[in-house]
């Protein structure tokens, strides 16, 4: 199985303990994909933007990022062991690059990708050590082009790399989501929310039995429960229904996640880390439950404006 845990699920020491008990209760080989601690990626991006604005100050964010991780490590490891050094080294790397951005007063998409995934590089080390699992580095096997920020995966190279990396592996592995590298060995990322996609890429390459997305709600719901309080769980969805709902705003799954597992007919199960007994949602090729319901759910994207542009000068102008 591949189990992916999102930002809230690994957001605090208490939550990481829940993750451990879910992982330990599996009775098969598992690959665990983790996001950064909730909110960390946003903070890194804000810090980088502040740093690029010359006089801007990134130290407030950096301090918050350090404190969050220190607190988690303190609780989980009593502040002892090699994890502290590993995390400090990654945070120092972040600080150095932020200092560099301040000095040049410029932030490129390439530099941003160099640091955007530090949250996952840290969280995967914390979770691997806490569970007592082997850590694999997904940036070493997920190969992309150089479209920094939302790079395209080279599946031919990636699938082979994944198969080689996990050949003969048994037990529990932990890998960071979201991060990848291009053919020059530079860090890239596969889009915001991309840890779901990492999990799907690995699932398809290894043809696993099931992909479980562990998040902070009881599966795929009829609407965003943060917006509609009465939203309830949809027990089963087809791949195309899930794709449609997520493409149009249901953040619970990152849309590109669906395709690799759909091609291999690997079921996706969406589960709640904070209510593991809840069956959540199964995403399958064909569904029985609710097949007669024409409307499965409603999704929405906020903060969007639709602009109509018209004018006689636009006819036939390339690029319009
Ligand atoms: P994670 O960090 O685990 O990847 P996300 O925040 O990316 O979690 O996705 C889970 C969130 O998606 C939920 O907390 C919920 O607010 C939001 N969401 C939006 N639409 C839906 C939906 N239809 N069903 C469930 N959750 C939804
Ligand atoms: N941490 C990344 C993000 O916030 C990836 C993920 O969580 O899926 O976009
Ligand atoms: Mg997500």
Give the residue whose CA is nearest to atom 5 of ligand 2: 193
Provide the CA 274 distance to its chain's centre, in angstroms.
18
Please tell me the total number of residues recorded for the chain in this structure.
320
DSSP 174: E
Rounded to an integer, what distance in angstroms lies between the CA atom of residue 90 and that of residue 107? 19
pLDDT at 48: 96
Residues with beta carbon inside 6 Å of ligand 1?
6-9, 35, 193, 215-217, 220-221, 223-226, 250-252, 297, 299
pLDDT at 80: 78
Q: 271 in helix, strand or coil?
A: strand
Rounded to an integer, what distance in angstroms lies between the CA atom of residue 187 and that of residue 122? 15
* Residue 115 CB less than 6 A away from ligand 2: no
* Residue 119 CB less than 6 A away from ligand 2: yes
Rounded to an integer, what distance in angstroms lies between the CA atom of residue 279 and that of residue 272? 9
Rounded to an integer, what distance in angstroms lies between the CA atom of residue 191 and that of residue 198? 10
Tokens representing 167 are 């050949």
Pure H helices in 189-280: 195-206, 239-247, 258-264
Ligand nearest to the CA of 274: 1
Rounded to an integer, what distance in angstroms lies between the CA atom of residue 235 and that of residue 245? 15
Give the residue whose CA is nearest to atom 4 of ligand 1: 6
pLDDT at 55: 58
Task: Using the atom order of ligand 1, give the atom closest to the CA of residue 5.
Answer: 3
Ligand nearest to the CA of 222: 1
Give the residue whose CA is nearest to atom 6 of ligand 2: 193
* Probe target for ligand 2 pocket from 65, 121, 177, with the most ligand atoms within 8 Å of CB: 177
Query: What residues in the chain have per-residue pLDDT under 50?
Result: none
Give the residue whose CA is nearest to atom 12 of ligand 1: 252
Cα(41) to ligand 3 centroid in Å equals: 12
Residue (of 52, 49, 61) closest to 103 by Cα position: 52
- Distance from first CA to last CA of the chain, Å, rounded? 46
In the chain, how long is the greatest CA-to-CA distance? 70
* Probe target for ligand 2 pocket from 36, 44, 127, 175, with the most ligand atoms within 8 Å of CB: 36
Paired residues of 114 in beta bridges: none
CA distances from 138 to 34, 95, 177, 182, 311 (A): 11, 23, 7, 12, 49
Task: Using the atom order of ligand 2, give the atom closest to the CA of residue 195.
Answer: 8
Q: Are 245 and 220 in contact (CB under 8 A)?
A: yes
């Amino acid at each position: 199985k591949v189990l992916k845990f999102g930002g809230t699920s690994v957001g605090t020491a208490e939550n990481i303990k829940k993750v451990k008990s879910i992982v330990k209760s599996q009775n098969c080989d598992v690959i665990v994909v983790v996001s950064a601690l909730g909110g960390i990626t946003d903070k890194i991006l804000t810090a980088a933007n502040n740093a690029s604005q010359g006089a801007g100050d990134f130290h407030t964010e950096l301090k918050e990022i350090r404190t969050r991780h220190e607190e988690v490590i303190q609780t989980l490891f009593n502040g002892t062991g090699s994890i502290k050094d590993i995390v400090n080294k990654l945070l120092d790397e972040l600080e150095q690059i932020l200092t560099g951005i301040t000095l040049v007063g410029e932030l490129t998409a390439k530099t941003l990708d160099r640091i955007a995934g530090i949250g996952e590089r840290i969280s995967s080390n914390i979770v691997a050590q806490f569970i007592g699992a082997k850590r694999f580095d997904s940036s070493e096997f997920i190969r992309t082009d150089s479209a920094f920020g939302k790079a395209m995966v080279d599946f031919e190279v990636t699938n082979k790399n994944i198969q080689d990396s996990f050949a003969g592996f048994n037990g529990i592995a932990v890998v960071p989501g979201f991060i990848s590298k291009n053919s020059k060995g530079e860090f890239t990322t596969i889009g915001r929310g991309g840890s779901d996609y990492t999990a799907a890429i690995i699932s398809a390459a290894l043809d696993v039995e099931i992909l479980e997305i562990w998040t902070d709600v009881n599966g795929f719901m009829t609407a965003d429960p943060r917006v509609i309080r009465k939203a309830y769980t949809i027990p089963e969805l087809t791949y195309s229904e899930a794709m449609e709902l997520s493409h149009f705003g249901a953040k619970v799954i990152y849309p590109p996640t669906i395709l690799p597992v759909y091609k291999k007919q690997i079921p996706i199960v969406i589960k709640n880390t904070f209510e593991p007994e809840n069956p959540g949602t199964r995403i399958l090729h064909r569904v029985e439950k609710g097949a007669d319901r024409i409307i499965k759910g409603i999704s929405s994207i906020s903060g969007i404006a639709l602009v109509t542009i018209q004018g006689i000068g636009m006819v036939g102008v390339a690029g319009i």
